[in-house]
Amino acid sequence: MSTTDKVDEVAPPQLDNLLELDPYIKPYQDEIKRRYKEYRKILNTLNTEENGLDVFTSAYTHYGMHVDCCTNEIKIKEWVPGARAVYVRGDFNNWAEKQYSLQRNEWGIWTITIPPLSDGSPAIKHGQAIKLLIETPYGELLDRLCPWSRYVQRAENSNVYHGVFYNPPDNQIYKFKNPQPKKKDRLKIYEAHVGISSWKGEVATYENFRLNVLPRIVKQGYNTVQLMAIMEHAYYASFGYQVTSFFAASSRYGTPEELKALIDDAHGYGLTVLLDIVHSHACKNTFDGLNMFDGTRGCFFHDNARGYHDLWDSRCFNYMEREVMRFLLSNIRYWLEEFKFDGFRYDGVSSMLYHSHGIAHGFSGSYNEYFGLATDTDSFNYLQLANTVSQTLFPESITIAEEVSGMPTLCRPIAEGGAGFDYRLAMAIPDVWIKLLREKKDEDWNVGDLSWTLINRRWSEKNIAYSESHDQALVGDKTIAHWLFDSQIYSHMEVFSDRTPTVERGLALHKMIRLLTYALGGEGWLNFEGNEFGHPEWLDFPRQGNNNSFHYARRLFYLPEDEKLRYKYLNAWDQAMNNCEEAYKWLSAKDTFISRRHEDDKLVVFERGNQGLLFVFNFHPTKSFADYRVGCGKPGKYKIVLNSDSSAFDGLGRVDEGQVFAAEDYKWDERPYSFKVYTPCRTVLVFALTGTTA
């Protein structure tokens, strides 16, 4: 469909496939049709009144502050609906208050054209500080940042950011060299934060990440990097989730051109690069954020209780306001077009979808919760529009929803009435692992419940699985490594140290937990930087509560490189998992068969994919089993392709990895074939048919 084609407002969604996949949706098809109709109405309005999505989402090229390359005039265009008057001032005019006055049109759009200087150069120079001066309806004069600012910096000796006129000369503008990768269907995501990506107690840079971290990500076998905290946020400790400037790449890490170089190099390695985008809410800052931009509580946000997120102490967008829609949809295009990101991980989607923002909402799984009055149709329609922008203008892009409620259709095509996301994060999985580690003895783990939780997802909607993410690494929580090793993560990780029961258990379960999640939990895999080798420190950004210390706002990447430390073994296991998936491609497999969940033996046996890939997990803390029969779906000879007990991963070396296993024509556990294996306690063995691959 062309972005300027007229849309038939009454055309219904194509529900046949959706209802076949999930008959339980049938009683709610009228609601799906209703919200889809609203989406089509909005799209039709944009096509008829705004000349289509292509033009509408190009607003970032003419809203804000721009230099006319032909005349060197500076053209400023801002939406400030509640203002009585708008001025621009800055270094260029010694901060005079009312020298340059903008003119208003009937829609609250204010504009001005500032002629060039007598020498023909722009009146405002690249790098000069600049702000808007807003006269509110009450006559108050307020300094505000341009919402479309490409670059903002913290003022010297201040916590407040000021706008920077960003107009570098052509020879300083980064020129992309590498093609963007095609859309991948087996995402292995390395979730990363540029600022913490160094062992030093400082804010690390885009350049550091480009030179030192990207090669590590590639070596580990990841094919995707997800960059967090890129959109400018005045408060570093917010982890990037209190955005103040939506179009500005954070200046604390370097320049926009250095971010472009990072992304380009990632593409050169074949990596897909995703941006952690925050459209679910905005920071409450006024001097350097969007809040009270025109002096009113409204403007970009709802001007009542609906416009406030009490738990996050932030503001909530009025998505159906035309100029807000223009701002946010243009923001999507800006990051995809100007920086060549390959897609997004949308933060806080659950908060957007429900009027309650999900606060104190248990989500029982009843479809009434998803298709009733609790759902915020405006937000759902906005997400449909956001995904339409990506899919229409950038068809190779990827979108992932951070969504915990399990709303049906979120990851189904928009034409079916879905929201159009490619994936949702499997957010329930980390909670299960933490609950087990915190509350249950190993011998009390219920492997049936555990494996059921990992596969209990809407199979027609893809999930990104993870055992832990940045959430579990933050101070106040504990990573899996911290739960397992406790204080011995600091005292007993040298290879010459005693292998205490705690260390032995921790090494074994860290590997098993990650692979079971990886192999059963979804159609993609995510790891937060450092967790792959059991990073021994939590994550805590400099703030008043820790005397503004950077000690925990860093990643100790040198640890797995130290031959004397056991972290190298966990790091090697992480690499081996990725390499095994790359060889056998289980993430894209459509068929998974769990043949055994034995509570007394603590064994889980399953196959995934059509290449005879068989996983045998023995979670028993003390019992090893010789000649243990396991079922399989295909005849032939099987080999061990991954063994957590290998000495290469600091295992005990109890398994003969060269052994070949011949599957017998002997039915077992509802499988037509079987063979016997030795499965030591707290190990996982992965078998594959010989001759299939790798």
Residues annotated catalytic, as ranges:
347, 402
What are the distances in angstroms from CA 532 to CA 5, 464, 500, 557, 571?
48, 16, 21, 11, 6
Contact 131, 89 (CB under 8 A): yes
Among candidate residues 424, 450, 448, 425, the one with its CA nearest the CA of residue 435:
450
Q: At what angle do helices 567-584 and 501-520 cross, to 10 degrees?
A: 20
Written as one letter, the residue type at 664 is E
Question: Which residues make Cβ contacts (< 8 Å) with residue 456, sequence separation at least 6?
Answer: none
Q: Tell me how far the alpha carbon of residue 693 is from its chain's centroid.
A: 31
Beta strand 603-608 pairing with 614-618: antiparallel
- Name every residue whose Cβ is closer than 8 Å to that of residue 488 and which is 6 or more positions away in sequence: 500, 502, 503, 506
- According to DSSP, the β-strands at 524-528 and 188-193 are parallel
Q: Residue 209 has what DSSP assignment?
A: I
For the chain, what's the residue count?
Answer: 694
Q: Which tokens go with 692?
A: 């299939």
CB-based contacts of 14, cutoff 8 Å, min separation 6 = 415, 416
d(CA 405, CA 416): 20
Spatial CA neighbour of 673 closest among 640, 642, 629: 629
CA-to-CA distance for 512 and 621, rounded, in angstroms?
A: 12
CA–CA separation, 668 vs 277, rounded Å? 48
Structure tokens at 54: 């292509």
Task: Return d(Cα 431, Cα 434) in angstroms, integer.
Answer: 5
Burial per residue of 412-451, b for 16 or more beta-carbon CB atoms within 10 angstroms, e otherwise: bbbebbbbbbbbbbbbbbbebbbebbeeeebeebebeebb
Helix (H) or strand (E) holding 617: strand 614-618
Neighbours of 588 (CB within 10 A): 13
Q: What DSSP string describes 358-411?
A: TTT------HHHHSSTTB-HHHHHHHHHHHHHHHHH-TT-EEEE---S--TTTT
Residue reference for tokens 């946010």: 328
How is residue 624 written in tokens?
A: 């090893």
Cα separation, 453 vs 456, whole angstroms: 5
Longest dimension (CA), the chain: 91
